[in-house]
């Protein structure tokens, strides 16, 4: 007989879980052999811990399959199959009775039955047939349920069992705890960010999306979420030596062999298999805080979210959503416009990095309860403040007109000079004044022979390293702001000008 156990607590890591089950087993004084169920086919069968009271000691504990147990007896699926067979026999019997009633109701070739007997038989026939059909219907419904029970029983019988040979000082029912690692479970964080209006703080909810595929539902279990993974590394990292030398051109093989899979870097070193470098996914971190929806504590190597109340974590669903914390974040709101690359405008929130208590994760954005899309929130930057997109903003109309370029030759300097200009018009179509961050750019010279001369930037701020030009504006309602951007480019007359966009 298999002793069953119930899930009482689940400790969910980012890509696995520790499952803690409780149960009871009846022991006689002395030696006992018990079979404990509960572990799944997706669990790490070699890593389990079985705990009993102090007056119980183990002589032998191992993982077995139900088919390997010689004296196990009749399996549950076999018992259910007998009930299914019995239902089939009853259904067959009732169908034979229906055929018999129908056959006996044919009096065309019989002369030994009186008219009164025929009329009585025919009056009883509908009721008898209805009664038999109802019995068949009940049995078919029962058989359908038995088929489901058999399927569930067969799944359970495929799961590993723990065979424990234990000795008890006294007879009686004793509790036990089974703990094991589950591989088919994970959780990921996600934010829900709501913007109301004006300068009000952002309302942020941090949620956990829990997924498990263990072929069982975890009903009314205590759930603790951890921000890391146990035993992520198989070994400690080591430093490998880096060799440097003078770069020598490889011999040329015209049309023979394969191309060399290495690249020369700026310093002359050789970097092999550059495309195989993987970026590690961001790991959620959390300060020790008390929250309404979850209690957070700092463990030795990670943070833990203890969810309030008992939870149902269902198997195979699209995800079980729980709220970990709700908080408010102060932000400075601006409308971002970069008409050089996109004619649309976007509402943004600038947030102090130290005000955001979590690390990177995806977020669903809502503006006045309207869904605006998903963004990736990444506060793990080197700057003190980071910018969060809140979606497209239609309050601004921005038009950028690039004027015709003027090119002329400077004979004395043997140079060619080109003047480039653009006019930008910003119109606030709303009823309220809004803050606007408008960006454009001028080219950055990486060659001493090429010069960039600024003519007019309408008092813009310039990032000389990136060539980024930015205006911080206050756009009044129904009021147009006009800006101008112009600069000269000069390069050797006998050379061609090269322009390329560098992705950052």
Specify whether 203 is located in the same domain as 177.
no
Specify whether 464 is located in the same domain as 324.
no
Last-in-domain residue among 157, 172, 201: 157
pLDDT of residue 474: 93
Would you place residue 476 in the very low, low, confident or very high pLDDT band (cuts 50, 70, 90)?
Answer: very high
- State the residue for tokens 């018009």: 425
Q: Give dist(CA 52, CA 412) in Å, integer.
A: 97
Specify whether 309 is located in the same domain as 449.
no
Could you read off the pLDDT of 113-172 as tens digits, one per residue? 788 888 888 888 899 999 999 999 999 999 999 999 999 888 888 888 888 899 998 899
The answer for residues whose C-beta is within 8 angstroms of residue 65's C-beta and 6 or more apart is 160, 161
Average pLDDT over residues 305-325: 84
Would you give the DSSP letter of residue 83? H
Would you place residue 249 in the very low, low, confident or very high pLDDT band (cuts 50, 70, 90)?
Answer: low
Q: Give dist(CA 372, CA 357) in Å, integer.
A: 23
Would you place residue 293 in the very low, low, confident or very high pLDDT band (cuts 50, 70, 90)?
Answer: low
Q: Give dist(CA 429, CA 476) in Å, integer.
A: 9
Specify whether 165 is located in the same domain as 52.
yes
Q: Give dist(CA 164, CA 52) in Å, integer.
A: 11
- Quick check: helix, strand or coil at residue 201? coil
- Please state the domain count of the chain: 4
User: Would you say residue 468 has pLDDT above 60?
Assistant: yes
Specify whether 376 is located in the same domain as 430.
no
pLDDT of residue 152: 85
pLDDT of residue 420: 92
pLDDT of residue 398: 93
pLDDT of residue 236: 56
User: Would you say residue 259 has pLDDT above 60?
Assistant: no
User: Would you say residue 454 has pLDDT above 80?
Assistant: yes
Residue 374 within a domain: yes
**Lateral strand order in the sheet of 461-463:** 385-393, 342-352, 332-338, 434-441, 468-475, 461-463
pLDDT of residue 9: 95
Residue 254 within a domain: no
Helix (H) or strand (E) holding 92: helix 76-104
CB atoms within 10 A of CB 12: 25
Residue 263 within a domain: no
* Phi and psi angles of residue 277, each rounded to the nearest 5 degrees, phi first: -75, 125
Specify whether 414 is located in the same domain as 301.
no
Closest CA to 194 of 365, 26, 324: 365
Residue 442 within a domain: yes
Specify whether 226 is located in the same domain as 367.
yes
Residue 503 within a domain: no
Last-in-domain residue among 330, 362, 393: 393
Could you read off the pLDDT of 273-282 as tens digits, one per residue? 333 333 333 4
Closest CA to 346 of 394, 400, 398: 394
Q: Which two tokens stand for residue 430?
A: 């709303």
Would you give the DSSP letter of residue 290? B
Q: Which two tokens stand for residue 382?
A: 């080197």
CA distances 101 to 23, 133, 138, Å, are 54, 12, 20
Would you place residue 219 in the very low, low, confident or very high pLDDT band (cuts 50, 70, 90)?
Answer: very high
Could you read off the pLDDT of 319-357 as tens digits, one per residue? 778 888 888 999 999 999 999 988 889 999 999 988 887
Specify whether 53 is located in the same domain as 177.
yes
pLDDT of residue 286: 41
- Quick check: helix, strand or coil at residue 330? coil
Specify whether 313 is located in the same domain as 388.
yes
- Quick check: helix, strand or coil at residue 60? strand
- Quick check: helix, strand or coil at residue 491? strand
**Torsion of Cα atoms, 179 then 180 then 185 then 186, to 10°:** 80
User: Would you say residue 413 has pLDDT above 90?
Assistant: no
Give the least confident one: 33-47, 78-92, 242-256: 242-256
Of the chain, the percentage scoring pLDDT greater than 90 comes to 35
Would you place residue 504 in the very low, low, confident or very high pLDDT band (cuts 50, 70, 90)?
Answer: low
Give the least confident one: 7-16, 17-26, 251-260, 409-418: 251-260
Note down the domain range covering 42: 2-65+160-182
Do 351 and 331 contact (CB within 8 A), yes or no?
yes
* Position with higher pLDDT, 395 vs 288: 395
Residue 378 within a domain: yes
- State the residue for tokens 């590993």: 160
User: Would you say residue 111 has pLDDT above 80?
Assistant: no
Q: Give dist(CA 428, CA 431) in Å, integer.
A: 8
Specify whether 377 is located in the same domain as 433.
no
Do 186 and 154 contact (CB within 8 A), yes or no?
no
Specify whether 405 is located in the same domain as 348.
no
Q: Give dist(CA 75, CA 266) in Å, integer.
A: 70
Closest CA to 385 of 351, 360, 359: 351
Q: What is the CATH number of the domain that holds 414?
A: 2.60.40
3-state secondary structure 226-275: ECCCCCCCCCCCCCCCCCCCCCCCCCCCCCCCCCCCEEECCCCCEEECHH
Last-in-domain residue among 361, 393, 425: 393
Specify whether 221 is located in the same domain as 329.
yes
pLDDT of residue 299: 66
pLDDT of residue 285: 46
Could you read off the pLDDT of 42-85 as tens digits, one per residue? 888 888 899 998 888 888 888 888 877 777 778 888 899 999 99
3-state secondary structure 460-479: CEEECCCCEEEEEEEECCCC
pLDDT of residue 239: 59
Residue 50 within a domain: yes
Q: Give dist(CA 253, CA 260) in Å, integer.
A: 11
Would you place residue 238 in the very low, low, confident or very high pLDDT band (cuts 50, 70, 90)?
Answer: low
Average pLDDT over residues 162-189: 90
* Position with higher pLDDT, 191 vs 237: 191
Cα distance from N-terminal residue to C-terminal residue, the chain: 65
DSSP 339-405: TTTEEEEEEEEEEEGGG--S--EEEEEEETTEEEEEEEE---SSSSEEEEEEEEE-SEEEEEEEPPP
Any alpha helices (H) in 105-216, and if so which ranges?
115-158
Residue 303 within a domain: yes
pLDDT of residue 190: 87
pLDDT of residue 256: 37
User: Would you say residue 96 has pLDDT above 50?
Assistant: yes
């Amino acid at each position: 007989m298999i002793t069953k156990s119930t899930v009482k607590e689940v400790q969910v890591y980012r890509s696995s879980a520790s499952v803690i089950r409780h149960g009871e087993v009846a022991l006689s004084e002395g030696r006992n052999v018990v079979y404990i169920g509960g572990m799944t086919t997706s669990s790490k069968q070699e890593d389990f811990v079985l705990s009993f009271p102090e007056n119980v000691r183990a002589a032998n504990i191992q993982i077995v399959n139900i088919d390997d147990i010689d004296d196990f007896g009749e399996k549950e699926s076999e018992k259910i199959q007998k009930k299914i067979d019995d239902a089939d026999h009853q259904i067959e019997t009732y169908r034979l009775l229906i055929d018999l009633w129908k056959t006996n109701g044919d009096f065309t070739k019989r002369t030994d039955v009186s008219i009164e007997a025929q009329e009585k038989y025919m009056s009883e026939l509908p009721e008898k047939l209805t009664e038999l059909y109802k019995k068949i219907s009940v049995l078919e419904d029962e058989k359908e349920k038995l088929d489901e029970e058999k399927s569930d029983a067969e799944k359970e019988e495929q799961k590993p069992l723990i065979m424990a040979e234990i000795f008890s000082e006294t007879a009686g029912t004793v509790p036990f705890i089974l703990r094991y690692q589950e591989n088919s479970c994970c959780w990921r964080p996600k934010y829900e960010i709501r913007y109301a209006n004006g300068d009000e703080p952002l309302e942020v909810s941090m949620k956990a999306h829990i997924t498990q595929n263990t072929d069982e539902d975890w009903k009314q279990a205590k759930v603790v979420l951890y921000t890391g993974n146990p035993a992520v590394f198989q070994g400690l990292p080591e430093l490998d030596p880096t060799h440097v030398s003078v770069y020598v051109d490889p011999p040329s093989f015209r049309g023979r062999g394969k191309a060399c899979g290495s690249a020369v870097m700026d310093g002359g070193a050789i970097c092999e298999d550059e495309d195989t470098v993987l970026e590690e996914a961001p790991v959620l971190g959390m300060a020790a805080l008390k929250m309404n929806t979850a209690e957070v504590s700092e463990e030795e190597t990670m943070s833990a979210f203890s969810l309030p109340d008992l939870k149902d974590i269902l198997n195979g669903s699209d995800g079980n959503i729980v709220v970990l914390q709700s908080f408010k974040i102060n932000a400075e709101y601006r409308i971002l416009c970069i008409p050089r690359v996109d004619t649309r405008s976007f509402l943004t929130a600038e947030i102090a990095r130290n005000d955001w208590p979590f690390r990177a994760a995806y977020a669903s954005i809502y503006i006045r309860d309207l869904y605006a899309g998903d963004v990736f929130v990444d506060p793990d930057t080197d700057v003190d403040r980071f910018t969060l997109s809140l979606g497209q903003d239609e309050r601004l109309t921005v038009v950028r007109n690039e004027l015709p370029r003027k090119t002329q030759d400077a004979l004395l300097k043997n140079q060619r000079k080109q003047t480039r200009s653009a006019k930008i018009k910003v119109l606030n179509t709303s009823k309220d004044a809004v803050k606007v961050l408008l960006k454009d750019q001028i080219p950055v010279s990486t060659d001493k022979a090429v010069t960039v001369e600024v003519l007019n930037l309408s008092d813009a701020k310039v990032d000389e390293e990136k060539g980024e030009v930015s205006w911080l504006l206050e756009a009044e309602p129904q009021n147009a702001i006009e800006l101008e951007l112009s600069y000269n480019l000069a390069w050797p007359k006998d050379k061609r000008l090269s322009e390329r966009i560098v992705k950052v």
